[in-house]
Amino acid sequence: MSERLRNRTALVTGSTSNIGLAIAEAFAAEGAHVIVSGRNQERGTRAADRIRAAGGRADFLAADLDGSRRASQDLADRARETLGGRIDILVNNAGIYPAPGTMATDEATFDKVYAVNVKAPFFLTAAVVPGMREAGGGVIVNLGSWIARLGVPLGALYSSTKGAMETLTRAWAAEFGPAGVRVNAVSPGVILPPAPPGSEPHAGEIMMKGTPAGGVGTPDAVARAVVWLASEEAAFVHGTVVDVDGGRTGVAVIAA
């Protein structure tokens, strides 16, 4: 690795598995000191140990980002202390994806999804940005989703939260950019971990037929895009949503 993030510090939410873990591992491989965060103590400890075993710097902080300002502020405070007083990079990755139909969605489910997917990153960003301003700058990368712009059945609730995060990306870029805080987003497509040999095709693979990529992506593909946005290579990139979706949303799909 080129260590593009040498001597940088980073907080990655929802990073005990899948895309979040891939981002944390990629950051550490590029020289950053990373906070792995999530609700599951066992998975979080295992993730941090795995990063350290590979030669990276990582600590796990348990956090239940339930949408309250208190929970977000608490994580920001503990992360800042663990990282030696500053957070250079924030990745708002944590999210949940229940997918009932609109008529089957009760109020409790609606409120919980918005609390975790929108309120929690909103208040976490509010808690982290003042320190970035004092330090002279920082980077925030939000995780959107391809279904924020391409509707699918049963995706109304989740996709609306990701649409909100993509809108916040542009609004925050305007609000915080003059203080040196760059804000961008990555919009993953159908992302799956490598399938075991001989396993049945995943439904997501059908969605990717006829796309330029021709198949699903892996968490590493998203992580590489996030590393680029967090690095100085993207210093002139503000308020942008980078699609990492194999062409699913931007290219006409030819059924095969």
> Catalytic residue positions?
158
The sign of the CA dihedral 62, 64, 65, 71 is: negative
Does residue 118 contact residue 161 with C-beta atoms inside 8 Å? yes
Give how far the C-alpha of residue 75 lies from the chain's centroid of Cα atoms, to the nearest Å: 16
Give how far the C-alpha of residue 202 lies from the chain's centroid of Cα atoms, to the nearest Å: 23
DSSP 87: -
* Rounded-to-integer distance, Cα 75 and Cα 126, Å: 12
Residue among 180, 198, 199 at smallest CA distance from 238: 180
* Rounded-to-integer distance, Cα 85 and Cα 88, Å: 10
Residue among 216, 191, 176 at smallest CA distance from 18: 191
Give how far the C-alpha of residue 151 lies from the chain's centroid of Cα atoms, to the nearest Å: 21
Q: What phi and psi, each to the nearest 5 degrees, are found at residue 200?
A: -70, 145
Residue 210 CB coordination number (10 Å)? 15
